[in-house]
Structure 1
Amino acid sequence: MDTQMKEPITERQARIVEIVTQQGFATIDNLARDFGVSAQSVRRDIIRLDAEGMLQRFHGGVGVRETSVRLGYAEKRTVAADAKQRIAAKAASLIPDGSVVFLDVGTTVEAVARELAGKRRLHVFTASLAAATILSDHPAIDLFVIGGSVRGVDGSLVGETTLSTLSRFRFDYAVIGFSGIDRDGAFMDYDIEKVGVKQAAMEQAGHSFVVGDSSKFRKSAIVRFSGRPDSLSLVTEMRPPAEVLEVMQGLCIIAE
């Protein structure tokens, strides 16, 4: 029987685990710059950490493992619940009765769906089975579920059918979730297919409300997306850091 002990991870590798656990994702270039080492050195660290099952290697960077570090969907509903409710109430207050609305996926967007249930004569399109369930028994809501393939435990609908269907409609408002913010102000998420749906919906909307609590300001992800600055607002519960405020250029709406 092989009783050889595994070599412990290095101090730098342990710090990489800490950084990625806090942020959700980090690029090789950023880690190399932070540690003052070559990208190849960081790449070797990432290969080791991926092999140990501690992090997950991606093209150009490293992230937390879906099955271990990242919160499960049921847990996400309980995190920052008060902040999500305030954000949802504020976003819903900005959507008039009679509007045509697209709802994205995510627990904060689901909170917005609950607030919208009290509206009158809304036309709601969604790629979220969870949001559709919330609104399905409200007769004042004209509900349309965008077709597609179900992706993940959050009941997200994605794929060519989803994108093709979205292109046929025009929305007054889109309510979009996100997982993090890049340093240049671009929003970020983990799944390229879900981001494709977000981007397509924002392009079809007169105005987009990107909703998320302040914990997202300290996180990064994998895939970037953005909207037109003249038709975009970030709805959150706390004043963002100065660098985010500077990039957003007055587009933040704070839910008191």
Structure 2
Amino acid sequence: MKVAKRRSAMLEAVHSGITDVETLCERFNISEATVRRDLASLADEGYIVRTYGGAAAVVGKREPELSLVQRQHERGDIKAHLALAALGHIEDGDTLLLDGGSTTTALAKLLGQRRGLHVFTNNLAALPVLAAIQDCKVTFLGGDLRAASMTTYGVTAQAALERLSVNKLFMSADGVVADLGLCEASAEQAYLKEMMIRRALHVVVLADSSKLGNARQQHWTPILSQWTLITDDQAGDDRLEAFKRRRAVTLEVVKI
């Protein structure tokens, strides 16, 4: 295989979730040194970023951010299944932190099936649903309004997070990459998610399969602690493999 053709195929492999050097060696039947040279070349051209032991896909230009209404209609049936799976992680009396996003909003609609919850959230779209739930205390994290996602962020929300802790955090993201974490449209969003992770005993990320290995934006929230990824079975083994190899990740695949 010619070098240019091989590197093009390797870029496709990285985008599909095959990101570590060892697996790329096996896939293309080439040496570790050759894989590293190919990855270095792709990184120099801006197609990927190098990580410890491999690489991660990077979108050359930021994708336009979808509005909340668009997100709610995109893969809505799959998001409902992910939300139902997430509900299985919640017990009566839990203290929860609910991030913004259409999938976490779908989860909010199911929380009436539990009793004695205390929900902290910066998710404005989830508030009408949460307010209607009996025996559920809701604490809203104030801050600057981000109309595109109907969430709050900024120093006020950060200050509130510094003064609380929760049993479980449920998050969404624009993209999820095994080696890098969660990607977001703004640095402020990414940092607020990082603070949320620090305040939670258990972290659960809800992401449909289209987001796996997809670096849609350029701002990152690393997840350094143990976490659970709930996704659907439309991703295929190649995209899931990168997460299976991460010891810190508990992968939960929902059959659709």
Q: Is this a same-fold pair by TM over 0.5?
A: yes
Unaligned stretches of 5+ residues in structure 1: 1-14, 24-29, 43-59
Q: What secondary structure is seen at the aligned counterpart in 1 of 2:118?
A: strand
Structure 2 residue 151 is the aligned partner of structure 1 residue 156: yes
Distance 2:251 2:87 in 1: 15
One-letter amino acid of the counterpart of residue 76, structure 2: A
Equivalent residue number for residue 208 of structure 1: 203
Summarize the alignment of residues 1-256 of structure 1 with structure 2, pairs less than 5 Å apart.
Answer: 33-34=41-42, 61-64=60-63, 66=64, 70-182=65-177, 184-220=179-215, 221-230=217-226, 232-238=227-233, 240-247=239-246, 251-256=250-255
One-letter amino acid of the counterpart of residue 67, structure 2: G
Runs of at least 4 residues of structure 1 off by over 3 A? Answer: 30-34, 36-39
Contact 1:156–1:194 (CA<8 Å) still a contact in 2? no
Distance 2:130 2:94 in 1: 15
Over the aligned positions, Cα root-mean-square deviation in angstroms equals 2.8
Change (3 A) 1:250 1:150: closer
Q: What secondary structure is seen at the aligned counterpart in 2 of 1:62?
A: coil
Distance 1:248 1:133 in 2: 38
One-letter amino acid of the counterpart of residue 222, structure 1: Q
Contact 1:188–1:223 (CA<8 Å) still a contact in 2? yes
One-letter amino acid of the counterpart of residue 245, structure 1: K
Report the more deviating stretch, 169-178 or 233-242. 233-242
Unaligned stretches of 5+ residues in structure 2: 1-7, 17-37, 48-58
Report the more deviating stretch, 166-175 or 76-85. 76-85
Q: What secondary structure is seen at the aligned counterpart in 2 of 1:229?
A: coil
TM-fit CA distance, 1:250: 5.1
TM-fit CA distance, 1:200: 0.8
TM-fit CA distance, 1:72: 2.9
C-alpha deviations, 1:59-94, integer Å up to 9, x for none? x95212x3xxx4332121111112111110111111
Q: How many residues align?
A: 206
TM-fit CA distance, 1:245: 2.1
Change (3 A) 1:100 1:249: closer
Distance 1:183 1:209 in 2: 14
Of structures 1 and 2, the one with the larger relative CO (CA 8 A, separation 6+) is: 2
Distance 1:175 1:122 in 2: 14
Distance 2:44 2:194 in 1: 36
TM-fit CA distance, 1:247: 2.7
Change (3 A) 1:79 1:38: closer
Distance 1:123 1:144 in 2: 8
C-alpha deviations, 1:103-142, integer Å up to 9, x for none? 0000011111111122111000001111122211112210
Q: State TM-score, norm by structure 1.
A: 0.72
Q: State TM-score, norm by structure 2.
A: 0.72
C-alpha deviations, 1:17-36, integer Å up to 9, x for none? xx9xx99xxxxxx99944x9
